[in-house]
Structure 1
Amino acid sequence: MADLLSTGVSGLLAAQVGLSTTGHNVSNVNTDGYSRQQVSFGARAPQAEGRYYVGTGVDTVAVQRAYSQHLNAALWSAASSKGRADAFQGLTDQLNNQLSGSSNLQSSLDTFFGAVQDMANAPADASARGVLLARAGALASTFRALSGQFGSLDGQVQRQLTDTVASINSDSAAIAKLNERIRASTGEQPADLLDQRDALIKKLSGEVGISVASQSDGTLSVFVGNGQALVSGTQSYELGTAQNSYDATRLEVVDKGTGAVLSGRIGGGTLGALLDFRSNVLDPAQNQLGRAALAMADAMNAQHAQGVDLNGQLGGDLFTVAGPAVQAASSNAGSATLAADIDDIGALGNQDYVLSYDGSAWGLRDGSGATVAMSGSGTAADPFKAGGLSFVVGGGAASAGDSFRIQPTRNAAGSMAVAITDPNQLAAAAPLVGSAASANTGSAGVGALTVADGSDPNLFAGSSIVFASPTSYSIDGGPAQTFTPGTPIEHNGWSLTLDGDPAAGDSFGVQANANARGDNANALKLGAVANLGVLDGGATSVGRAYGQLVGQVGSAGALADEAAKTQNAVFNQAMAAQQSVSGVNIDEEAANLVRFQQAYQASAQIITAANTVFNALLGAFRG
């Protein structure tokens, strides 16, 4: 009878474990990261009774979680991709909103050139001139505002980098502590601690791309980048942020222990998205905006210098804008300095450069690390030239490993301003007029007449050009000069190009514009700057440069939106697959409750039967 009682008690205890586990599952149906737990039972060793064996009950073998390492690894990978895609989409959406918001540059450009046309229609009208000056100020303000918004977004990225790194360090430390508790557990590993660790790893994978390796002692090691450990056994290793070697206001992600920069090696998760967005979307957008500002200022200033204002003075700069920024590496040991200027805006690209010294020669690389060919020797008389830029190395001697980063356009938009405040200084008129004598017999006519040197004191002095033959001319009775068709005639700071072929005896005159107050010749040319090819070797206008900016940001945004949709779908599929194994099914748990409840009741009946038989035996002996 004692065996029957023991059998009943074993069944009662097994059913109790089953009920407790089922209740635990039901209670955690909404717990993120919880894996359904299952009870395993095994029959006790039977007792020999002569020629046969009698069963002795049941043992609870294990309480284990329903788990698939493969599905969990797939979920972590999907979480990393989703975290990156969601963060990248949010950032590109902000950038697109900035470009299409109240500081829309295209609207400001259209309004500005509309005001230029109004001045061309009434060049002497003070009101039209005042409006143009105001529109020029508004255009410069729009460039600055957009640059400021880009800068604010860059600051947001900086703050998010710091916050994300702090969160990664916190999660890594928590995983290491759970590793310690799991390793210290005896027997079967605790399912709830394993779930907590997996949930943290999933969260961590959403913050940064990671790889996970299982160890023989039950711990998990977590790595980021190209093998940088975040967690190894019970030890966690922190990431940190440090100043960029060229720009102290810019943060890079580093290994806090060694200081090694990890920014270029981190992918996936929110941290990867922040670094990728900053390097591949925001920085190029800032550069392109600055490139448009430089093109606008250069083209307008060049044309404005070709006119005269109401005071009879040649036009000065209409806009001011900052040139290339040069940043010395903080590790430079030498005393060399570097100055950079724009040499050819038509060849100016949309990227930054690094000029470095290897101990014997200087070399230039672009943002991708590709070598860029240079001409020149780097002196003031013979500067290095590449990518539309010129570089002059000065100061003392450079040391091997010294380098400088050049940002040709990064700060241009944020510095743009109007250079004049007096509407009368707007140069709407042509300073000079050219004329062909009525008695000329050749087919040549006055073509382009431009100012080549505004500082020449004889610029406005009248000049007469007389051709002794179709290939020879003299100016103001001076020595004979050779004429080549298509080659400008230059004198007293002006440059004249003839259309057609002159004949012997033909003459042409260049005089100061006597009708400068009512003339609009230069104003019309200022208006033509809207469609003038300035960048990319004359192929890209200011408006098109801005259109390229909108296009590249819009394209990045569209790709980010598609990536976010795709990665969310992949994540949902991975989650569904993982939950199909590990998730709690309420209907199944309800059935288990009934099953274990009935088993409990049946085991209780066995105990009752054992008690009845035992009492009957006692009664028989008393009788």
Structure 2
Amino acid sequence: MADMLSIGSTALNAYKKALDTTSHNVANAATEGYSRQRVEFSSRVPAGSSIGLGVGFQDVERVVDQLVGQRLLSGSSSGGRLDVYGDYTARLDRLYSDADTGIGGAIDSFFAGLSRLSSDPASSAVRTEVLGAAEDLAANFRRIGTALNDYGQEIEQRLSVSVSEVNRLAEDIASFNSQIALARGTGTPPNDLLDKRDLALQQMADLVDIKTVTQDSGDINVFTGSGQALVLSGNANALGLRADEFDGSRAEVVLRAGGQIVPLGDSISGGRIGGLLDVRGELDQDQGRLGRMAAAVALQVNEQHQQGVDARGQLGGELFSGALSEVRAASTNTGTATPQISLTDVSALTGDSYDLRFNGGYELVNRRTGEPVALTGSGTPADPLVGEGFSITVPGTPANGDRFLLQPTHGAAMNLSVAFGDPTRLAAAGLMRAEPATQNIGTAQASLTVNDAATAVAQTPASIEFIDANTYSVDGAGAFAYDAAAGINVNGFNLRLEGDPVAGDRFDLNAAGPNSGDNRNALAMAALGDRASLAGGTRSFSDENAGLVASAGDRARQAERQAQATGAILAQDRAQRDSVSGVNLDEEAANLLRFQQGYQAAARVIDVANQMFQSLLSAVSR
């Protein structure tokens, strides 16, 4: 009877534990990260006895699959990165391709307006239309450039929030490590603490790529993807943000550990922080590429516009204005040098950023490729340093180790504007007109183009008279051989003749006056729209814009495809985790009934044992 009572008591305790555990599962069925628990029964068989001593149970077991958990960490990191990256690439795709605010339509409208101006250079309405199209083009460049800048500021804010969240989670994980160790030391199963720690790890992986190492003690150490320790047992290190050495509004992610600051830079490749850093890098490239297009439009149109005469009879000035380039000095510089950039060759501009370094001499490194760029010159105004489509003058004195961030085109889009609002200042006419004398009897018809802008703007008149069909004089001087193929170069212009001149034919070069009706400069500006002047002379403005739009679209579609694939795998892993560790209420309800019946049966065993004992007492007492 004593054995029966003892056996019944062990069964009662075991089923009570099972009912408690099942109830705990039911209560936490909707708790995020909870892993179901179970009690493992085992029979108690003493040595040398054919009859057991009832039932026993070990600790309450937490049902998990560690391999699935590791896959979830990796998938969360990839998913977090793609979530952020996909969001921004989709926004950039919409920004560039918008028909109303995009660049492509505005470029086409501007050059189409110049073409109409060449057909009717005296029309005030057409001049107003061209100036309005120029304003729209500049406004669209500014709008997109400002949007890219705003996205960059938004990223800085999100980086700050994400870094703070990583630090909070690191502290939580370190605390869980300590609590788990304490619970195990007292023999208490730390199952719920393990669930909370795993959930914190998944939340951290969503923010930054991590690696975990489980110690024999049960502690989990957490490292960044590059191997820097975030959590070591009960101690947590902190991520931080340090102002960029070139731009105080831009932050660099660092790790603060043991009184040291470790820059993480590009080593963060996953999680939302990795996605933010990836997007920030691409925003830099897009700002430079968009700026290259804006700078090319401004420089080439301005150059041509200055080779014309406006409706007032005055030389054309700049049509577009605004700072095109940006130079930033490193905060650690000790010298007094202040480099300045001038854009010199549109076709050679890359849109990239550069590091200019001084160590006894200057060296230039492309930040995107990491490759050195050949430099010529000394940096003086008379002998500037010459890079990829730009020159650099360096007033002041640099110190060894001084560094500068050069962004030749990054400011162009945000700063582009139209230099004037008076339509009469549009220089549609050529600088000079080649007018045949009334007494000419040959068939030659003259055309005039600029071949030396610096000389041509002086608008120096000239008279070319043919001594015979093969010889001419200039302002009555000389007898120069006439080459029809080469034309006649005079005062910064090249005079070409279609047809045959004869002796006595004269062509007078005179400055264009007010309201001349001449359209040659408007024609020349309109022709810039189709000229392949970018990327080494292989792309027109429209080609460059189409490439920018296509690149943004490709990035967005690729990010979407990757996100779908990663999301599908992550969903499978979560489903597998739920199938192993999730609470099935139907199953738990069945367990409740089963364990309740077991508990009741165990109680009946004890009751029977008690009745037998009472019967024995009654028999003895007679």
> Fold-level match, TM-score > 0.5?
yes
Deviation at 1:25, TM superposition (A): 1.4
Deviation at 1:169, TM superposition (A): 0.7
Alignment partner of 1:396 is 2:380: no
Match of 1:158 in 2: 156
- Say which SS state the counterpart of residue 378 (structure 1) adopts: coil
Match of 1:374 in 2: 375
- Say which SS state the counterpart of residue 510 (structure 1) adopts: strand
Deviation at 1:126, TM superposition (A): 1.9
Question: Is the 1:225–1:262 contact (alpha carbons within 8 Å) kept by the matching residues of 2?
Answer: no
Alignment partner of 1:476 is 2:484: no
RMSD: 2.6
Structure 1 letter corresponding to 2:353 = D
Match of 1:336 in 2: 337
CA distance in 1, matches of 2:585, 2:277: 43
Question: Is the 2:309–2:512 contact (alpha carbons within 8 Å) kept by the matching residues of 1?
Answer: no
Match of 2:614 in 1: 615
In structure 2, stretches of 5+ residues that fail to align are none
Report the CA distance shift for 1:499/1:615 in structure 2 as closer, same or farther (over 3 A). farther
Deviation at 1:243, TM superposition (A): 1.2
CA distance in 1, matches of 2:361, 2:122: 60
Question: Is the 2:242–2:252 contact (alpha carbons within 8 Å) kept by the matching residues of 1?
Answer: yes
Structure 2 letter corresponding to 1:199 = L
CA distance in 1, matches of 2:501, 2:242: 69
Match of 1:74 in 2: 71
Report the CA distance shift for 1:311/1:460 in structure 2 as closer, same or farther (over 3 A). farther
Question: Is the 1:434–1:449 contact (alpha carbons within 8 Å) kept by the matching residues of 2?
Answer: no
- Say which SS state the counterpart of residue 536 (structure 2) adopts: helix
CA distance in 1, matches of 2:160, 2:337: 34
Match of 1:530 in 2: 529
Question: Is the 1:355–1:365 contact (alpha carbons within 8 Å) kept by the matching residues of 2?
Answer: no
Question: Is the 1:454–1:493 contact (alpha carbons within 8 Å) kept by the matching residues of 2?
Answer: yes
1:398-452 deviations in Å (ceiling 9; x for gaps) = 21x22111101111111111112221111112232336785559xx864551263
Question: In terms of mean alpha carbon deviation, does 25-34 or 404-413 score higher?
Answer: 25-34
1:350-391 deviations in Å (ceiling 9; x for gaps) = 211111123455343332311222222333222221211112
CA distance in 1, matches of 2:560, 2:11: 57
1:307-362 deviations in Å (ceiling 9; x for gaps) = 21111112111111313211111111233331221121111112111111234553
Match of 1:493 in 2: 492
- Say which SS state the counterpart of residue 212 (structure 2) adopts: strand
Question: In terms of mean alpha carbon deviation, does 62-71 or 77-86 score higher?
Answer: 62-71
- Say which SS state the counterpart of residue 336 (structure 1) adopts: coil
Question: Is the 1:352–1:408 contact (alpha carbons within 8 Å) kept by the matching residues of 2?
Answer: yes
Question: Is the 2:89–2:556 contact (alpha carbons within 8 Å) kept by the matching residues of 1?
Answer: yes
Match of 1:243 in 2: 243
Structure 2 letter corresponding to 1:122 = D
Question: Is the 1:364–1:374 contact (alpha carbons within 8 Å) kept by the matching residues of 2?
Answer: no
Question: In terms of mean alpha carbon deviation, does 143-152 or 429-438 score higher?
Answer: 429-438
Match of 2:211 in 1: 211
CA distance in 2, matches of 1:451, 1:314: 17
Question: In terms of mean alpha carbon deviation, does 81-90 or 106-115 score higher?
Answer: 106-115
1:525-563 deviations in Å (ceiling 9; x for gaps) = 322222222212332222222222212211111111111
1:81-118 deviations in Å (ceiling 9; x for gaps) = 01111111111122222224442222322333343344
Deviation at 1:513, TM superposition (A): 4.1
CA distance in 2, matches of 1:499, 1:216: 94
Report the CA distance shift for 1:291/1:56 in structure 2 as closer, same or farther (over 3 A). same
Question: Is the 2:461–2:508 contact (alpha carbons within 8 Å) kept by the matching residues of 1?
Answer: no
TM-score scaled to structure 1, two decimals?
Answer: 0.92
- Say which SS state the counterpart of residue 96 (structure 2) adopts: helix
- Say which SS state the counterpart of residue 292 (structure 1) adopts: helix
Report the CA distance shift for 1:514/1:234 in structure 2 as closer, same or farther (over 3 A). closer
CA distance in 2, matches of 1:500, 1:278: 60
1:214-256 deviations in Å (ceiling 9; x for gaps) = 1122111111141111111111111111211111121121123
Deviation at 1:295, TM superposition (A): 1.2
Match of 1:417 in 2: 417
Deviation at 1:474, TM superposition (A): 4.1
Deviation at 1:502, TM superposition (A): 8.5
State how many pairs are aligned. 615
CA distance in 2, matches of 1:177, 1:467: 101
1:234-291 deviations in Å (ceiling 9; x for gaps) = 1111111121111112112112353332131101110000000110x21111112111
CA distance in 2, matches of 1:572, 1:165: 26
CA distance in 2, matches of 1:502, 1:225: 79
Report the CA distance shift for 1:349/1:498 in structure 2 as closer, same or farther (over 3 A). farther
Deviation at 1:10, TM superposition (A): 0.4
Report the CA distance shift for 1:158/1:487 in structure 2 as closer, same or farther (over 3 A). farther
Structure 1 letter corresponding to 2:551 = Q
Report the CA distance shift for 1:386/1:47 in structure 2 as closer, same or farther (over 3 A). closer
Report the CA distance shift for 1:352/1:501 in structure 2 as closer, same or farther (over 3 A). farther
Match of 2:94 in 1: 97
- Say which SS state the counterpart of residue 395 (structure 1) adopts: coil
CA distance in 2, matches of 1:333, 1:484: 60
Question: In terms of mean alpha carbon deviation, does 347-356 or 315-324 score higher?
Answer: 315-324
Structure 1 letter corresponding to 2:146 = G
Match of 2:551 in 1: 552
Question: Is the 1:212–1:222 contact (alpha carbons within 8 Å) kept by the matching residues of 2?
Answer: yes
Match of 1:269 in 2: 271
CA distance in 2, matches of 1:368, 1:228: 26
Question: Is the 1:306–1:430 contact (alpha carbons within 8 Å) kept by the matching residues of 2?
Answer: yes
Structure 1 letter corresponding to 2:600 = Q
Question: In terms of mean alpha carbon deviation, does 410-419 or 134-143 score higher?
Answer: 134-143
- Say which SS state the counterpart of residue 355 (structure 1) adopts: strand
CA distance in 2, matches of 1:83, 1:549: 26
Deviation at 1:485, TM superposition (A): 7.1
Structure 1 letter corresponding to 2:565 = T
- Say which SS state the counterpart of residue 87 (structure 2) adopts: helix
Question: Is the 2:314–2:514 contact (alpha carbons within 8 Å) kept by the matching residues of 1?
Answer: no
Question: Is the 2:466–2:501 contact (alpha carbons within 8 Å) kept by the matching residues of 1?
Answer: no
- Say which SS state the counterpart of residue 391 (structure 1) adopts: strand
Question: In terms of mean alpha carbon deviation, does 256-265 or 206-215 score higher?
Answer: 256-265
Report the CA distance shift for 1:326/1:594 in structure 2 as closer, same or farther (over 3 A). same
CA distance in 2, matches of 1:39, 1:228: 39
Match of 1:56 in 2: 53
Alignment partner of 1:170 is 2:193: no
- Say which SS state the counterpart of residue 173 (structure 1) adopts: helix
CA distance in 2, matches of 1:574, 1:158: 32
- Say which SS state the counterpart of residue 537 (structure 1) adopts: coil
1:199-222 deviations in Å (ceiling 9; x for gaps) = 110010001111111112211111
Sequence identity of aligned pairs in percent? 38
Question: Is the 1:430–1:516 contact (alpha carbons within 8 Å) kept by the matching residues of 2?
Answer: no
- Say which SS state the counterpart of residue 476 (structure 2) adopts: coil
Question: In terms of mean alpha carbon deviation, does 587-596 or 168-177 score higher?
Answer: 587-596
Report the CA distance shift for 1:219/1:547 in structure 2 as closer, same or farther (over 3 A). same
How is 1:319-358 mapped onto 2 (pairs within 5 angstroms)?
319-358=320-359
Match of 2:542 in 1: 543
Deviation at 1:42, TM superposition (A): 2.0
Alignment partner of 1:199 is 2:193: no
Alignment partner of 1:21 is 2:18: no
CA distance in 1, matches of 2:169, 2:483: 77
- Say which SS state the counterpart of residue 259 (structure 1) adopts: strand
CA distance in 1, matches of 2:500, 2:223: 77
